[in-house]
Amino acid sequence: MRKALVVFVLFLSISCLSQNKQILYNFTSIPQSLLTNPGSDFKYKWYFGVPLLSGISVNMGSSGFSAYDLFANNGVDFNVKLRNVVFSTTRKDKVAINEQVELFNGGFKIGGWQGNSYVSFGMYQEFDLFSYMPKDLAILALDGNKEYLGKVFDFGDLNMKAELLSVLHIGYHKNISENLIVGVRAKIYSSVFNANSTTNSGYFYTIPSTNTIYEQVISSNASANTSGFSNYTDNYSGNAKSDITKKMFFGGNLGLGFDAGFTYYPKKNIQFTASIIDVGLIRHSKDVENYSYKGHYKYEGIAPDFTGGNATGDVYQEFLDAIPFDTLHTKYTTWRPAKLNSSIQYSFGDGRNSDCNCEGNDAGYKNAVGAQLFIMTTPRMPFMAITTYYRRQIFDALQMKATYTIDSFSYKNIGLGLSTSFSKVNFYILADNLLEYRDISKANSLSFQLGLNVIFADSSGPN
C-alpha cells in the first residue's frame, strides 16, 4: 500500500508543466493569442473558432524525473528505480498539469470600417493541477521511520491544488493611437471540482530516549478543502455526466476574474507588450467538504504503530484523541494562478503586400526577433521562464515562430509554431520541446496546441 501511494504521487509528477504558452504569446496571426494578451496587435473584421476545435492545449512533463526512470526495461528492479526516483527529487520539484479545450470563440470589429475597437468572446474548459513534490511524506510512506531516528519529517511538504472548471469571457480591445493598443477581458469561472491543501505545517520525529526506549512526537496542522466531490462518494444515484455538464454551465461554484494587456510601439519596428492573466477568485459554497488533521501528541516508550492501531494499551486511542481527523463543511475561497507576460520585439526585413489576417504595425516586416518573460504565482514562490524567439512570414499564407525557453523544467526547450491561412480558414499547430520527441519516455516536458478558425481580415476602407 505504501509503494502504491508513492507510485501514485510520482505518476502525477510525470505529467507536469507550467501554463506558459510562449509560442502562442504575441503570435498575432492566431486569434487565440488574444487569450494571452487582450491588448495584442491583432486586427480583423470578425472571426469565429470551430467549436471544440479552435483551441486545444495539452502540457505534460516533469521537473524531477522522466517516465524512463521508472519504467525503463533495463533489468533494474522496479523497487530500486522507485527508491532512486524518490531520493533524487527535492521538495522544490514542481508538479503541474494544464489542459484547455475551447467550447466556442469569436470576435468582431465595432464602429464600422473606420472603427478601431474590437470585441472578443468565448468559453473554454480548463483543468489545472499544481503540486510540490512531498518528499518527506513519500519517504515515510515508502520506508516508515524505523531507519530514520532523529530525522524530522516535514508535513509542510504536502502542498497541492487541482481544479476542473469552465471560463466564460468577453474582451474589449482598442487602438488608442497608432502606437498604443490596450485590451481588457472579464471572466466568469464555474468550478466543477476543486481540491487544495496548501497551508500545511507540522512535523514527526522519533529519537532515542534516556528514560525509556524512544521518544516519538507528532505535531500536525494540516488541512484540505474540496468542493464538487462529496455528492459522488456516498450512494450516488444520479447522472454524473449531466451533473458535470450543469456545473460547466454555471451550476458550479462561481467566481470572477479579469485579464489586461497592452502593445506599444516606440518605433514602427520596435514593440513592447505586457499582460496579466487570470486575476480572479472562486467562492466555494456548494458541495463542500473540509478535512482537518490538527493536534500534538508525544509518546515515550516502545515505538507503537500509529497507522494500524497495533499500539499497546490505550496509546492508539490517546493518539486519535490528541490528533483527531475532522470533516467539516465550511465555505472557502481560492485564487486563480495569475500569469504575467512581457516581451520586447525587433522587426526587420523588406515589407511585402500580403493578405495576412494580422495587420499590426509590424506586419510589413518579414522577420522579427524578441524575448519574453513569463511569471506565474504558485503556493510557495513564483514560477519563471525566459524565452527568445524568431518569427518569420514565409509566404503570404504561412507564418512560423521558433522559440528557445529556459525554465525549471528544461534548459533545452526548443519550440516551433506554424500558422496558415487559406482563404478565410486559419489553422495553427504549436509544439514545445521538440528535441524530446526522439524518445518521449525520457522527456521532462512536452506540450502542444492546435486549432481551427475562420477569419475575415480587417477592411482598409468602406465596404
What pLDDT digit, counting tens, does each position of 32-48 carry?
A: 999 999 999 988 889 99
Q: Please tell us whether the domain made up of 2-456 is placed in CATH 2.40.160.40.
A: yes
Q: Write down the pTM of the prediction.
A: 0.86
Maximum pairwise Cα distance, the chain: 94
232-241, 258-267, 292-301, 335-344, range with the lowest pLDDT: 232-241
Residue 285, SS3 per DSSP: coil
pLDDT band at 291 (very low <50, low <70, confident <90, very high): very high
Can you give the pLDDT at residue 121?
A: 96
Residue 124 bridge partners (DSSP): 102, 167
Averaged over 171-185, what is the pLDDT?
94
Among 174, 167, 192, 129, smallest CA distance to 35 is for: 167
CB 129 within 8 A of CB 96: yes
Answer for the pair 181, 206: CB distance below 8 angstroms, yes or no: no
Nine cell digits for residue 261: 494587456
Residue 132 is inside which H or E element, if any?
A: strand 117-132
Residue type for position 273: T
Distance between CA 334 and CA 252 in Å, rounded? 14
Domain extents in the chain: 2-456
Rounded to 5 degrees, what angle do the CA atoms 42, 45, 50 make? 85
- What confidence score (pLDDT) does residue 444 get? 66
The SS3 assignment for 379 reads coil
Higher pLDDT, 199 or 461: 199
pLDDT(312) > 80: no
**pLDDT tens for residues 353-377?**
444 444 455 567 899 999 999 999 8
How far is it, in rounded angstroms, from Cα 165 to Cα 386? 28
